[in-house]
Amino acid sequence: MSVSDFEMVEAWGQVLSLSGIAAGQTVTILTSSDTHPQTLRTAIVAARAKGAIVNRLDLLPVNGGTSLSRDPLAYVGTTPLTGNKAALAMLKASDLVLDLMTLLFSAEQHEILSAGGRILLAVEPPEILLRMVPTEEDRRRVLAASRVLRAARQMRVTSAAGTDVTFALGEYPILEEYGFCERAGRWDHWPSGFLATWSNEGSAQGTIVLDRGDILLPQKSYVREPVTFTIRDGYVTDIAGGLDADLLRGYMESFGDPEVYAISHVGWGLQKRAHWSVLGLYDREATIGMDSRACAGNFLWSTGPNNEAGGTRDTACHIDIPMRNCTVMLDGDAVVRDGELVNDGLGNAA
């Protein structure tokens, strides 16, 4: 169902307030041909209402003839900023970049953040953005859970479907997504509400079994029959199952890069306003699937690049796989049990 511009302006106003935007600051809105027009026009109005200096930087799309999907996360790394020094300089000079295009997993995004810039990604449809407008409570919940993850040295994930996999932790930083950027050098994503890190290089070992109803992204499809991944020394070494497994193998093989099989980030969802069933209600080109990534109690793991965490893998293939009904343990203590949060992230029983 559509939402009004008034509602979206108010939503943007809350996001910008939480991000500390004030009069005289510069907000640059990064757009391309797939940017949602309502998201753009309401962002401009809200930023101007804060007294910000607002710029729009519109860049031509890339990767269209290379990617196998129109999803912006189906082919990552190369962006319209690649080699574009003038555009990069403009973004680095901004107090806040509203990314309505998708720079994720690019060297340019890392350069902007390293220079002290802030980037907020927002590419979901307006009605999804409105349903999950970030709050200060979202931030407290994610940061409280982050303290637990930061202290852990092993994550073990199990499920009744047959998953039993371990990840050593500590080499890489924590990804804390709560939907706004209140400090220099911060990247975030609206909508969100989840926590992740990257396992130590070569440490992931075990078996992951996708059950019916688990989700593959960017395929944006629910798994129809079990898919079994064998994980050895930080890489997927085998993908077994029926049609879903066959299609996934073919997709990953198409990149011709052994690094597409590396384990990337691992974590769990904390957002109670996210819903597992939403993916089936949208056209595949209308959403990137943030409900399933952030849904409270999920286990989210991925394959491919780790350059966002300071690693060296910049492969173009990134698969996100949110799963239901898993138990996630940190150093033997459960934070998620059978797909339900053990607490609300603030130490309160869920």
pLDDT digits (tens, 9 = 90+) for 269-296: 999 999 999 999 998 889 999 999 999 9
Q: What pLDDT is stored for residue 308 in this prediction?
A: 81
Q: What pLDDT is stored for residue 68 in this prediction?
A: 81
Q: What pLDDT is stored for residue 350 in this prediction?
A: 59
Token pair 């990314």 is at which residue?
Answer: 99
Compute the distance between CA of residue 78 and CA of residue 315 in angstroms, rounded to an integer: 10
Closest to 298 measured CA to CA, from 338, 257, 242? 338
Task: Report strand pairing: 235-241 vs 164-168.
Answer: unpaired
Token pair 């912006």 is at which residue?
Answer: 72
Domain ranges of the chain: 5-131, 136-341
Q: What pLDDT is stored for residue 281 in this prediction?
A: 93
Compute the distance between CA of residue 18 and CA of residue 48 in angstroms, rounded to an integer: 16
Which parts of the chain sit beneath pLDDT 50?
A: none
Q: What pLDDT is stored for residue 347 in this prediction?
A: 58
Kindly report the CATH number that applies to the domain delimited by 5-131. Answer: 3.40.50.2300
Q: What pLDDT is stored for residue 70 in this prediction?
A: 83
Question: For residues 256 and 183, is the Cβ–Cβ distance under 8 A?
Answer: no
Cα-to-chain-centroid distance, residue 300? 10
